[in-house]
Amino acid sequence: MERENIPPGEAAKAHTGEHILFRALSTVFEGIKVKKVELGERNYFLVTYSEELEGERLLQAELLANSIIAQDLSVTTVVKSREEAMRDYPRLRVRWDRISDASVTVVEVDNFDWAACVGQHVARTGVIEVIIITRVNSTGPHEYEIEFEVAQKAKVEAVKRAALARNVAHELKTSMDQVIPTLHNLKDRTHLLTESVRLLTSQVLSNVQPEYMEGIPVYCVEVPGGDRKTIQREAARLTRENSCLVVTVEQVEDTFLVAGCSPSLNLDCRQLIRTLLPEGKGGGKPEQAIASSPQKVDLSRIAENIRQFLEQPRQPGGSWSPENP
């Protein structure tokens, strides 16, 4: 559908461009189907496709669409009966369930695209000048939103994206044609580093020795730069294998605190993290809770606060007694 907030001439360029681009996409991505079209402040169409809409073939579709535009093909509109349209245009894009009239309006881009449409269109493809895909976003299983621009807006956007690509290459310290290989290498290295951090985090927590507080083995350790998911997993393992309390802190960028305890200890880790990190945000279950805060903490003070927490009398279930709310 066309919206009223753009000039008719620009709407016609976008509408005809959408016809050309979708036909190009359906040529490259066999089986792609359009569900919805919106033109205006943002030009896009919603499509369904059984596979991934990947970059190289999207480029093929863009190049095909722009070659059609550059050929300055004629765009004609004819009105046919339903029977004539079915007979004369075997590749017609049409939703017959939405057409109740006996006749149908067919818009033809000379020997390239045929679509049932009553919107505004340009007389020749050259008027569109250029079309680019600006965004492809997955909106659900096998569903994609494809955003595009035409004419002057497309040119301006292309210049901006070229500048962005140059800046990315500069930051990566590589050439333009090596940006993608460089990103792949960085992704692989990041994966290896992440696995290494997880392994080291696990090793640190496996080697920590407990300190006894109020007769309870307490594992209190700081793991700067540790993997937070591994910290949670290892805390759960320690409290599962031993009757103990585990408090782990990771604070490189912000403070991330995990408290875990064995059910037999009758403690509530949710209350503990509120004591250890009162300005933090978080929550969890009595057996394990987490909190985070932009404020850094002193591990020795954390240990002292744990000791004070354990000295408080508790009711069954780990809650504070009335005299210690």
**Digit-coded pLDDT (tens) for 23-56:** 999 999 999 999 989 988 899 999 999 999 888 9
Q: Residue 7: its pLDDT value, please? A: 55
Domains of the chain in start order, with CATH, are 8-176 (3.30.980.10), 201-311 (3.10.310.40)
Q: Is 175 helix (H, G, I), strand (E, B) or coil?
A: coil
Backbone angles phi, psi at 106, to 5 degrees: -110, 125
What pLDDT was estimated at residue 72? 96
Asked if residue 228 lies in contact with residue 206, where contact means CB atoms within 8 angstroms, the answer is: no
Q: What is the pLDDT at residue 235?
A: 92
pLDDT given for residue 19 in this prediction:
96
Ranges in the chain, pLDDT < 50: 1-6, 317-325
Predicted local distance difference test score (pLDDT) of residue 195: 93
Q: How much is the pLDDT for 300? A: 84
CA distance 261 to 56: 52
| Per-residue pLDDT at 9 | 81
pLDDT digits (tens, 9 = 90+) for 96-114: 888 888 899 999 999 999 9
Give the list of residues 6+ apart from residue 30 with CB closer than 8 angstroms, or none: none
| Helix (H/G/I), strand (E/B), else coil: 66 | helix
